[in-house]
Amino acid sequence: MNAGITITGSNFEQEVLKSSIPVLIDFWAPWCGPCRMVGPFIDQIADEYAGRVAVGKVNVDEESELAQQHSIVSIPALVLYKDGQIVGQRTGAAPKRDIEAMIKDYA
């Protein structure tokens, strides 16, 4: 199973802003219960949309500066980028169908 790309401050520009396909970023933390609920859906989407949508994960404990740049105050938070611009966001646990609805117009 594809767990997505680990996004860090050092690879953000290359993996997200310069990506030729949309990128869904999951801001999460290992201690976050709702994040653990959404995680398997994110992994499934990474597999099912491979080649059409890239999936990245940002551990907010390890990448607090990146989380601050995105004004992340609650997790899980999903941010969708296309052509280097934010085109969608949502906060909180969501069923897989809601996450797919967020990306369907861009996949």
**For helices 96-103 and 33-48, angle between their N-to-C axes, nearest 10 degrees:** 50
Catalytic (active site) residue 6: no
> What element of type H or E holds 60?
none
CB 2 within 8 A of CB 50: yes
Q: Which of 16, 23, 24, 35 is catalytic?
A: 35
Is residue 32 among the annotated active site residues?
yes
Q: Which has the closest alpha carbon to 106: 55, 56, 52? A: 52
Catalytic residue among 16, 23, 24, 32: 32
CB 94 within 8 A of CB 38: yes
Q: Which residues are catalytic?
A: 32, 35
